[in-house]
Structure 1
Amino acid sequence: MDRLRRAALKQALGEQPTEDLPMLAALTLADGVDTPALVELAGLSRRDPPAGIRDLFEQTFAELGLPLPEAEEAWRERMLDAAKGMLSGSLSPYEASNEIYWCACHLERTETTTELVAQFVGLWSTWEDHPNKRGSIEHSMRQAAANLLHSHGSQTPA
């Protein structure tokens, strides 16, 4: 199911190659998820018409009773994943801060998102401008990422 969710998030951002969805459907079936539209989608080829592939992908979500994410939700989830990646070590603080900043730029403009953009772009650019202070800047980046996750009710990775 995670595979479908990730693809739906990428699709909401215009980053999911349509031609990859039939194979994704086949892998999802192998994971034990089964709906009529998913079976039909898994039987398609990469060269089938993109509109038909997308329709079956969307129908799969309807059959599973799951809403397709909107772009705002996708950007927010991608931002939180970057914060988790920083704290788990799968992304460097520099990479993750840049990703968090970029994602926050795509969220609806509120006081909170404006502050978030300013905070992470500030940390990111300070890291570049002050190579001799990177250790303390990375500590601040990790703290900001933990605060971001906490403010969204997410657990920080151990």
Structure 2
Amino acid sequence: MDRLRRAAMKQALGEQPTEDLPMMAALALADGLESPSLVELAGLSRRDPPADIRDLFAQALAELGHPLPGVEEAWRERMLDAAQAMLSGSLSHYEASEEIYWCACHLDGTAMSTDLVLLFMGLWSNWEDWPDERPIIEQDMRVVAADLLRSHGEQVLE
């Protein structure tokens, strides 16, 4: 489901090539997921009408219990994925902080999103400007990423 979830997030942000969705559906079926629309989507070609592909993708996600996210939700999910990736080590502290900053810039201008932008912009900037302090800055990045995840009800493994 993780592959389809990422594709749904990218779809909401206009970053997912529609023609790749039938192959993603086929891979999801191979992974053991199944729904009538997912099977139908996997049978489509890259050259089928994009509207048909998008509609079946949305329907398959709904059948699997994961409807397409809205734009705001997709940016938030992408931001949380970056925080999780930092803590797991699959993204560097610098890359994850840049991604969190970028995503927070796209969220509605709430006090929390503004604070996140300023916080991660500062950490990211300090990381560049103070190379001798990077271990301390990276620890601060980890603390803030963990706090971000907790504030959204996510489990944090430290």
TM-score, normalisation: structure 2: 0.93
Assess, with a 3 A threshold, how the Cα gap between structure 1 residues 136 and 62 changes in structure 2: closer, same or farther. Answer: closer
Q: 1:27: how far off?
A: 1.2
> For residue 105 of structure 1, what is the aligned residue in structure 2?
105
Q: 1:95: how far off?
A: 0.7
Moved more, 123-132 or 54-63: 54-63
Measure, in 1, the Cα distance between the counterparts of 2:150 and 2:63: 33
Q: 1:67: how far off?
A: 2.1
Measure, in 1, the Cα distance between the counterparts of 2:39 and 2:154: 34
Structure 2 matches for 1:1-158, cutoff 5 A? 1-158=1-158
One-letter code aligned to 1:85: A
Question: Percent identity of the aligned residues?
Answer: 73
Deviation by residue 1:115-137 (Cα, 9 ceiling, x = unmatched)? 11000000001111111211111
One-letter code aligned to 1:42: A
Confirm or deny: 8 A CA contact 1:83 1:146 kept in the other structure.
Answer: yes
Confirm or deny: 8 A CA contact 1:94 1:124 kept in the other structure.
Answer: yes
One-letter code aligned to 1:141: M
Q: 1:65: how far off?
A: 4.4
Runs of 4+ in 1 over 6 A off after TM superposition: none
Q: 1:60: how far off?
A: 1.5
Structure 1 gaps, min length 5: none
Q: 1:33: how far off?
A: 2.3
Measure, in 1, the Cα distance between the counterparts of 2:143 and 2:61: 36
One-letter code aligned to 1:156: V
TM-score, normalisation: structure 1: 0.93
Q: Aligned residues, how many?
A: 158
One-letter code aligned to 2:24: L
Give the alignment's Cα RMSD to 1 decimal.
1.3
Assess, with a 3 A threshold, how the Cα gap between structure 1 residues 86 and 62 changes in structure 2: closer, same or farther. Answer: closer
Q: 1:16: how far off?
A: 0.9
